[in-house]
Structure 1
């Protein structure tokens, strides 16, 4: 029994019950104003006044529904008054009620239906909000022995004390009607003011873009931080094995430079994840490739590089992704083959950018496993309309080769 009572009285303790009630009362404001303009409306008797209030604003509401911004205003009002809890951006997005202007005639039609439904529900609730408390007062007067006759209500010509039992009944009915109508309007708002098919598609595309951006950042962090850690581990091991103060100084300098660049990349990635930073730090491009080569040399590899073509004039996406591809290839060399001689070729012409990294394979090579690095390298190439391959060649060397088309990007 206690559970049933708590279920019955719970709506009375929730603030949203009363904000929904207010939302319904606001709906009768347009009819009230139309009644003043019409003239003679409030000289009618009984329920005729409320019928005028329900009918007069219909043409105005239908015309207002044609204005795109009206849907936005109604959506904001519905979110604030019909939905419970906090109303921050994330909470509002989860209400199922859109705050976008009308984008199509279908949106305008749904807005018109919503406005008419608000009027059809709001006017009766407003009428009951006015009349039922008066009826309770009439019962109270009758219980005190006074004859009562209020406008719009039947007269009580035979007052008696038993009318005291009826005093709370109109108020209970009013609260029940207001709470039920509020729940109805909240459900109707999600149906009539919910996101349209165009809005849902746009939201899906935005979510997909965020996921792709996060995946790209994860790949970049893998490439940058993985390269830095690989170089650092090799430098530390070489410095300890060499036992030379001069070599140790050079190794520490290389570790410092590599770590500084990794921190820059990490800071840039974190800034991209923050919505309040519109212009993150610039990403490295192929014009900065010498930095990668020096890092590999500092790790003990002999690097023979061939750079040709207008690398500084490459399109931004190709230059940035090309840098990461060379970085990943050099990282794999250092991680799997150690400080071996490496041949790097970066060549750009009017049609394409070619990247090639070669190194001798270890005497006892481990089984080749396609990890995140090589898979990411191939994905970068495909996204730019190109192709990347990695594997042993006929000369017994490990070869990473990528070709990225340029003609369609210029």
Structure 2
């Protein structure tokens, strides 16, 4: 929301609340918020389904990393509400700009599960068609997806397209220069972009308290002239409601929006991390008690909108996804070495052509 400056010459964004927006408490009780209607039961069921399937996919991907089938895997365990709700809030024509940790968001957006893991397997920079799914490639450098989202939406608006973008980023990414540049350009250009910060408390081993003195990360929006929202990132209903509102505001021409979602990664940073070296079990237990899946399940069961049959159906779908990923990642890749040289230049330059020829000769010689 924005208020008019006392001079009447500028719209000044309201300060985000210190207390996060919450529609369902950690015990699964409906709270409600006058500014953000709780989604209907059908939407809440879709959110729960996405989180159940996403968590099973995440568990399977973690197992594949431990078995050596993936080069690395950054788990989404604990952050499913942000990723599923964010992806489901997007319209068909919108774009998603994910990071390396946002595999569950890609899965929710409709990307093939095995293709989601191609980057993390080390086969391609992106295993899916970005244009088909309207999902940018997962970015590994922090915040590098944010300026790209601003550029895409700025260009789309100039072409008369009704397109918004959702940028997923962690708290650590807000300390990067790319984030500052993206926030500033988005605000200056009034680009229809929503930045969803999944504040999971740790940038690998650096706590958020060592990154900023701002009351919340959402307060950073004010310095750029953006609207900021502070939401409970483990409340899927609240995340969906806030992101949906933010995307609608961005599309209507009200400008970009920055959202901080308070969440937590229950697993290590990646399968190569040792989180016990920098955080204690009491902190993990505190956040495990605020699990986004059990919170929403409890609400839907209490209101008669979900039962055992629904949960069994969601779990069975998750098992099918996991089994399909296991099977397909166990198959031979049949990678073509020529692909190293493809999709780099529109016309291959002589130096690269010579390198390709040298590689072909080496492979023929065995």
Structure of greater relative contact order (alpha carbons < 8 Å, 6+ residues apart)? 2
Per the TM superposition, whether the score is higher than 0.5 is no
TM-score by length of 1: 0.19
Query: Which structure's residues are more often helix, by fraction?
Result: 1
* The structure with more radius of gyration: 1
